[in-house]
A and B are shown apart, each in its own frame.
Chain A
Amino acid sequence: MTVGLQHYLVLSAVLFSIGFYGAISKRNAVVILMSLEIMLNAVNITLVALSRYVTPVAMTGQVFAIFVMTVAAAEAALGLAIIIAIYRSRETVDVEKIDLMKW
C-alpha cells in the first residue's frame, strides 16, 4: 500500500477533530491552548500534503504552513502571558472558575 493524499487528509481531519474536542471540553486553559495548537498543526498537515500533491511546483501550501507556524508561536506566547496574568490574580487556570462574567 502506498501512502497517498487521502491518508494525509484523513490524518489531518482526525487531528483537527481531536483538537476541536479538546478545545471545547477541557477545563485547564493551558490544555485548551495545546488543543488549539493541535488544530493549527492539523491544518499545516493538510496544507503541506495538498502542496505536495496539488501544486508540487508552486509550493504555496508549504509557504502558508510556515506562516501559520509563525503566527501560532505568537499566539501561544500571548496566550501563556494572559494565563499567567490570570493565575496571578486568582490562583487558578481552570476556565470553569474563571467566571466573573457569564460565559
Chain B
Amino acid sequence: MNLFYLSPELSLVGVAIVVILLDLVVPNKTILAGVSLAGLSLPLAFSVALWGTNATTFNGMLTVDQFAILFKLLIVAIAALIILASVDYAGRFLAHHGEYYALILLAASGMMLMAATTEFITIYIALELSTLSLCALVCYRRDRPSSEAALKYLLLAVLSSAVLLYGMALIYGFTGTTSLVEIARNIGRNAIVLMGMVLLVAGFGFKIAAVPFQMWVPDVYEGAPTPITAYLSVASKAAGFAVVFRVFFTAFGSLDLAFDWALVFAILAAATMTLGNVAALTQTNIKRMLGYSSIANAGYLMVGLAAASALGRSSVVFFLAGYTLANLGAFIAIIAITNHIQSDRIDDFAGMSRRTPVLAAALAFCLISLIGLPPTVGFIAKVYIFSSAVAVGLTWLVLLAVVNSVISAYYYLRVVKVMYLSEPAEGPFPSSGALKVALAVSSLGVLVVGLLPYPLMRVAEVAAAGLLP
C-alpha cells in the first residue's frame, strides 16, 4: 500500500475540501475559482511525478501506468478549463460557489480514479463518485430545465449502474474474482460471461453516450448549466472510454472474447454516429445540437474501439485529446456568447462575426475541427482512428463514418453561416478575461496539435502500449 500512487486523487479531494471551507470565510467568491485552479497544480505535479511508473497497488485495485496518468493529466486540464470558463457564468447565474467548484473537483477526482481502477468494486465507486457529483452540478441552477435535466440524468444513471452491477455480479460469479487481471485468467467463453459482457456494454454505454443508451444526452446537455454541459461532454466521455478500455482489453482481452465485443462495438458505432448526426441536423438549440454531436463523436470513438488493436487504442486516446480541445473550445466560445445574449438558440447567434469577431472566429474554427477538416486536430484524429479500423478490415464502418462526417458538416457549418452571413441584431459586446484565456488555450491547442500532431501521437502510443498487463 503506497499512498503516493493515489496522491493525484487524494490531493484533489483535499483541494475540494479546502474550497468548501474557504467558502465559509471568504466574501469575494472569485477567489474560490483561483484557489481551485491553483489547487489543480497539485494533482498535475503528482501525476507528472508518477509518469513512467508501472505499478499495481491496494491488492490490485489500483494501477498506475502511463495510460492512467495520461487520462489524469487530460482530466486535470479539462477541469482547469471548465473552472476558468465558469467564473463569469457562476457570477451571473449561480449561488453557492464553494460547493460548485468543489463538486467540479470531486467529479474530476472520480474520473481520474476511473482511468486507474482495475477492479470491479473500485470501478463502480469511481464511476458513482463522478456521476453523482456531475448530477448535483447539472441541477445547480435549480430552475425548471436544470432540475428536469438532473432528474433524467440521475434516474438513467442509476438504472444503467444497476445493469452494470448485474453484469459485474455475473462475471464475478463465473470467475470468482473482481480483479480484472484475475478475471482474464479464469474466464471462458460461455452464456454467463457473454450475458455479463452485454450488461457491461449497456452500463458503460450510458456513460459514453452510445446508442441505444444515449437518450439522456440532448435533454441533459440542454438543461444543465453550460460549463457543466461542456464538462459532461468531454471529461465524462474521456473517463468512460478509459474505463471501457481497462475492462474490455484487460479482462476480456482473450482473442475469442475480443471478437465478440469488437463486433458489438462496431454495430453500436455505426448506429451511434448515424443517429447522432442525423438527429443533429434539425436542432435549433446550440447546446442540444452539440449534444447530438457528442453522440456522433462517441460513434467515431467506438470505431477505434471496434478495431480492438494497439493502433485502435492509441488512436482513441489521440481522438479523445483532440475532441476535448475542439469541443471545449466551442463550448467556451458559446458560454462567452450566451452569457451576454442569454439565449441558446442558433438563430440568436446571427451576425456574431461583427458583434464579437474573436469569439465567432474561435467558435467557427473549433466547429471546423469537429467536422474534421485540416489544418485542425480533428482532421488528424479522424484520419488516425479510421486508418486503425481499415488496418483490421472494418472498411464498411469507415465508409459509413466518412459519410457521417460529410453529413455533420451541414449542421456545424450552419452555425458558421448564421454567425457570418446573417445581420446582427445589436451592437458589439466585450467578454471576460478568464473566458478569453480558456478560449485561447483550447483554440491554440486545436491549431498547434493539428499542425504538429507527432508529439501527442507519440504520447498516445506510449499510453496505449502501457495498458496491457
Question: Interface residues, chain A, CB within 8 Å of chain B?
Answer: 16, 19-20, 23, 29, 32-33, 36, 39-40, 42-43, 46-47, 50, 54-55, 58, 60-61, 63-64, 67-68, 71, 74-75, 78-79, 81-83, 85-86, 89-90, 95, 98, 100-103
Q: Which residues on the B side are within 8 Å of A75 (C-beta)?
A: 128, 132, 154, 158
- Nearest 3 pairs between A and B by C-beta? A39-B162, A50-B173, A46-B169
B420 interface contact, C-beta 8 A: no
User: In the complex, which residues 154-182 of chain B have their Cβ closer than 8 Å to any Cβ of chain A?
Assistant: 154-155, 158-159, 162-163, 165-166, 168-170, 172-173, 176-178
Q: Which residues on the B side are within 8 Å of A58 (C-beta)?
A: 176-177
A85-B139, A103-B219 known; A98+B148 contact, CB < 8 A: yes
Closest to A40 in B: B162
In Å, the complex CA distance between A95 and B156 comes to 13
Interface residues of A, dominant DSSP: helix
Closest to B222 in A: A101
In Å, the complex CA distance between A72 and B451 comes to 47
Q: Which residues on the B side are within 8 Å of A42 (C-beta)?
A: 166
Q: Which residues on the B side are within 8 Å of A36 (C-beta)?
A: 155, 158-159, 162
A64-B178, A67-B121, A71-B124 known; A50+B172 contact, CB < 8 A: yes
Q: Which residues on the A side are within 8 Å of B169 (C-beta)?
A: 43, 46-47, 50, 61, 64
Please give the distance in Å from A7's CB to the nearest CB on chain B: 14
B147 and A89 contacting across the interface, CB-CB below 8 Å = yes
B120 and A64 contacting across the interface, CB-CB below 8 Å = yes
B 209-230 to A, binary, CB cutoff 8 A, 1 in contact else 0: 0000001001100110000000
Interface residues of B, dominant DSSP: helix
A82 and B128 contacting across the interface, CB-CB below 8 Å = no
In Å, the complex CA distance between A79 and B163 comes to 18
Q: Which residues on the A side are within 8 Å of B406 (C-beta)?
A: none
B92 interface contact, C-beta 8 A: no
In Å, the complex CA distance between A101 and B150 comes to 12
Q: Which residues on the A side are within 8 Å of B150 (C-beta)?
A: 82, 85
B173 and A100 contacting across the interface, CB-CB below 8 Å = no
A64-B120, A79-B155 known; A43+B162 contact, CB < 8 A: yes
In Å, the complex CA distance between A51 and B148 comes to 39
Q: Which residues on the A side are within 8 Å of B218 (C-beta)?
A: 101-102
14 A-B residue contacts at CB 8 Å? A43-B165, A54-B176, A55-B177, A64-B169, A68-B165, A71-B125, A74-B128, A78-B135, A79-B151, A82-B147, A86-B147, A98-B148, A100-B145, A103-B219
User: In the complex, which residues 52-90 of chain B have their Cβ closer than 8 Å to any Cβ of chain A?
Assistant: none
Q: Which residues on the A side are within 8 Å of B168 (C-beta)?
A: 64
Please give the distance in Å from B333's CB to the nearest CB on chain A: 23
A33-B155, A101-B145 known; A40+B165 contact, CB < 8 A: yes
Closest to B167 in A: A43
In Å, the complex CA distance between A63 and B177 comes to 12
B326 interface contact, C-beta 8 A: no
Q: Which residues on the B side are within 8 Å of A33 (C-beta)?
A: 155, 158
B125 and A100 contacting across the interface, CB-CB below 8 Å = no
Please give the distance in Å from B290's CB to the nearest CB on chain A: 15
Q: Which residues on the B side are within 8 Å of A23 (C-beta)?
A: 155, 159
B354 interface contact, C-beta 8 A: no
Please give the distance in Å from B208's CB to the nearest CB on chain A: 20
In Å, the complex CA distance between A80 and B17 comes to 24
Q: Which residues on the A side are within 8 Å of B121 (C-beta)?
A: 60, 63-64, 67
A86 and B166 contacting across the interface, CB-CB below 8 Å = no
Q: Which residues on the B side are within 8 Å of A89 (C-beta)?
A: 142-144, 147
Please give the distance in Å from A74's CB to the nearest CB on chain B: 6
In Å, the complex CA distance between A101 and B121 comes to 35
In Å, the complex CA distance between A89 and B223 comes to 14
